[in-house]
Chains A and B, each alone.
Chain A
Amino acid sequence: MTNGKIESRLWWIVLAGVLPLLTFLPVLVVYAYGSWFQISNRIAVVAIPVSLAIIIWKGWHRGDDIGKARQYFSFGIWTIGVLLAIGGGWLASTQLFLWGGLCCLIAFYLGRSSLPEWPSILGSVGLLGLVLPWPFGSLEAIADNLKLQAAWNVNTCLDGIGIANLLNKRTIELTSSNFTVADRLHGLDGLLTLLFLAGLIGLVRSRSFSHTLLLSIAGIFWLVMGYTFHGLLLVLSTEWYAQSYSYTTNRYIIGGSIFVGQLLFMVITDFVLARMMERVPDEVLQSDMAITSRTLNGILGWPQPVVHYHEDLSILEHESRYQDEEEHEDSVEELEEPIVADWRWRRIYAIAALLGVVLLPLSIMLTFVQLKRERPATPLVIDAATSARILGIGQLPDEIVGMRLVDAKSFTRPEDALSEEAPLRRQWRYESNDRTATVTIEYPVRESAFWDMGLDEQNWESEDIQFSGDELNSTRAVKEAWSWRRESGTSEIGGHVYYWTCALTDDASPVRKRQAKSIFGRMLDRLNKNVYTELLVEPQERSIVAIEVLFETGDGLTRTEEEQTLIWFEKIRDEIRRVLGGGR
């Protein structure tokens, strides 16, 4: 078989395999444009195009034979992928669509690569495992702990440099400003992407299991180091150079650059590990073929690559195995032969190509349908006039549960460097002998403001409150209803604290979900300082209106007092809803 024939057939196989994957590109583009900074999607947005690029690159290179088990496994995954993608398109679920894409990618690679069988299957399952939710939110917990570790690192480094600071959970407080370090890092995205990259390198470069495991650990290490560096950079730039990186663009450029650095370090680590973990050649071992040496060599390279030595061979082995060029060429020819001869696979790729041709226009069409369908539910962007009307809502009563109104303020967005983070808000303050209450309407509040901190460790009560049952009768009403949540407990410095949140359930607003993480940490921080700061707000992204009520009291509220308190909030909510029109 001539080289030209081999290349043309490889081209055909590559195109047939890649075409179905291309069907996912429109969705990816939409995601890349609209949801780059949304936690759950970045992994897909980052990983899949990168993987595609690698696969296409690999497609230029020769492949070799694969076993029966792997053929069926690959075909099974590919089928699941296509079904998921069709289901995702039908249900307008981009998430399903992307999972389908990932399945196809893995199937394509499994069907083509020159890896030994079971390690590849394990690796593919591992990669899939990163996309699927983990039990008990453990992956999220790991990501969160890494961010907290990074915040501690920044705190310790600042102590070392001699800059006065205070680490309050995840906020580094300085004399000049505060930084919610752990919230400004791309926790779960970073972890997933680096683990994904480790897995992908392991598969694509035919690395051993122990190598891939070490690479994953190295990924976590570089992630924390990158976080620490990012946090330090944010703090020092303000403290030393009075240069704020809070501008959205600046922050993303710096975050992105550090992320690229982390990826680069991962690649370097892979190269270093590959050289460190190469088998020790028999020629340099004095005790030839001793079981100890064989075992240790086995640990270094388990599972042993079967047919891929011609690419990743160490120099010594290479020279010892292929004494002359002619012999080397013969061996390559032997390796190439099976894939060219195995035409059974051509049919599968032909079906894949056909489906790809059909799916591509369907995918584009579905994407547009989905975009159109999602438009009313995606970012609730309120124009300036409506915003002003929301914030212009009338005065609250002069007295509530024995407290007098002492202050009412409207905060407009200052035209300074931090303006992008400053919410528009209106605030009422009530006081009595041993109670204070702050009622705030804020707009916009990003969904991420309601994540991050868990209540469990704080021993606080959390209760979802559902008002006005009629709103929950239809699907539409559920989507447009306001969600309520009450959190209460004893603050770390004494006194009872009640915290009510009421927000529009914009899309899958986590406020409604019992298991969703709350804004508690930031709220307590505000409570300690009695000021409202550090809400990360992205005016153009998934904006929602929220009413937040902070209630401090020496003695707990009675049930009646709680109910009375809630009645005001309902009034505010109704007024805002009237301004927004109908359900909104």
Chain B
Amino acid sequence: MPVIEAGFKQYDGMPDRKQLLLYGPTLRVSVGPYKMPEQPHELRVASTLALIDTGAGASMIDNELAVNLGLIPVDKCIIAGAAGPTEHLVYMAAISIPELGISQFGKFTGGNLRLGGILQNVLLGRDFLANTIMIYDGVKAQITIISADQYVPKRESV
């Protein structure tokens, strides 16, 4: 089973506790369209950072990134958070974690993550965690992610 680290490293290669506290468990993902475009040159994929958010039920993509990638809006939803309910676009997309061999296809809620001061362009929620094992060692500032499966079934609804 593929294993990766989702923490931060200092220049000397040691775990960076400060960065982990500030930004949370972070790994690199690829975000792209749900369907391959007919013309290969039209394919737009971004390699970007994702925050592993155990408090989020479902994964989320930054709205600006979604627009830049030309992701197709296919619904809207209401998110009730600490600031009250807000309406969000829902895009169809694919999120891949190449190092784990995981690809997640389906509907992803858009959010103003970067505008809200979050470092990452993607939140990976418990739908992602449902297919992984995460070991959070806060003392050593080491986050280990193990993929339980090579493939995540397509999510059919938000």
Are both chains from one complex? no
Q: Using CB atoms and an 8 Å cutoff, list the residues of chain B in contact with chain A.
A: none
